[in-house]
Structure 1
């Protein structure tokens, strides 16, 4: 038991530190801009795209996406038992998102976790879950041009897909509950976007000609 506790603690800490790598903040510094003061004032990929342009926005997204994948992959190296690997992977999934959203280095003010959540979803959940979330994002974005609304649609689709698979006996209850926790965290992080959407003041994504 003490060994198992140390494994979970190590995975949680490592995943948090990996998630808290501030790719958007670093990109902003390279471009001599402060993402914590410009745009929506967060260091996520969407704000990087708006403030820094397509090249840097895509770069930040890729880095944040792979943080989720790497965290889950590293977690599996802490044990050779499949059941324990699953538990460690779920711990990594949660903590890498928390690290991204609340990075120690930036006063716990980071992004909103969508890119990292996408990486986690691809890594820890069955592939159909990722596909459902991706399609939900694409459909909502293509029809509304609201990145935030599309992101909310994707994170809501995540637990819906997981609980459907749970009902079909394809995944365990813990996986479904973790997906619900991830969804609730993402919705909470999007409170300001939800308020702007309700007020009709949320900016739509407009493709810049110079991108």
Structure 2
């Protein structure tokens, strides 16, 4: 059974709309704060943790991971198997990450996509995620920069997926997501090059 164009478009749209839900902003409004006005101004878990505290930061992280995982999980069940099944499921993951980065609910602005991408990659290759987390922790531990750890882990994920038996279609989608994460971290990269990026040990914006 082949996947029709209408079915694929519907799956991509729903994945995007799910990924676009700004949980960090919603949790902030629950306690009367707009996380975009404080810290780094980002809606992701790192800034939520900084502005709203650890509990809401962890909750935001879990929700952002879930909105990456569930679209691909549901798509893998509902989309009929076929020659391009893995590619189409991967594109749903990409759509979810794009939703987080360019949310329709926020005027096509959003976060940097790391946690949502984590959810997508967790579905495709949990072992790749385990290795990437080790890389993340090592880089953050040595450098002190969460952004550097995120960039290193994101850059390695596509190759880890391929090395651990993932298909080229999955590798392609993971590579596009990794490039988008690097693009969204352009300001962090600029600060790292200038020596102005703040360490995770400080209260400064990341």
Distance 1:50 1:30 in 2: 16
Q: Which has the higher contact order (CA 8 A, sep 6+)?
A: 2
1:12-51 equivalent positions in 2, closer than 5 A: 12-51=12-51
Post-superposition shift, 1:143?
1.9
Aligned to 2:168: 173
Post-superposition shift, 1:30?
1.5
Post-superposition shift, 1:3?
5.5
Q: Secondary structure at the match of 2:37?
A: coil
Q: Secondary structure at the match of 1:60?
A: helix
Aligned to 1:135: 134
Post-superposition shift, 1:194?
0.6
Aligned to 1:69: 69
The alpha-carbon distance between structure 1 residues 207 and 63, as it changes in their structure 2 partners (threshold 3 A), is: farther
Aligned to 1:116: 116
**Contact 2:3–2:79 (8 Å) recurs in 1:** no
Distance 1:96 1:106 in 2: 15
Aligned length: 203
TM-score, normalised relative to structure 1: 0.89
Of 183, 186, 195, the match for 1:200: 195
Distance 1:16 1:131 in 2: 26
Distance 1:43 1:14 in 2: 21
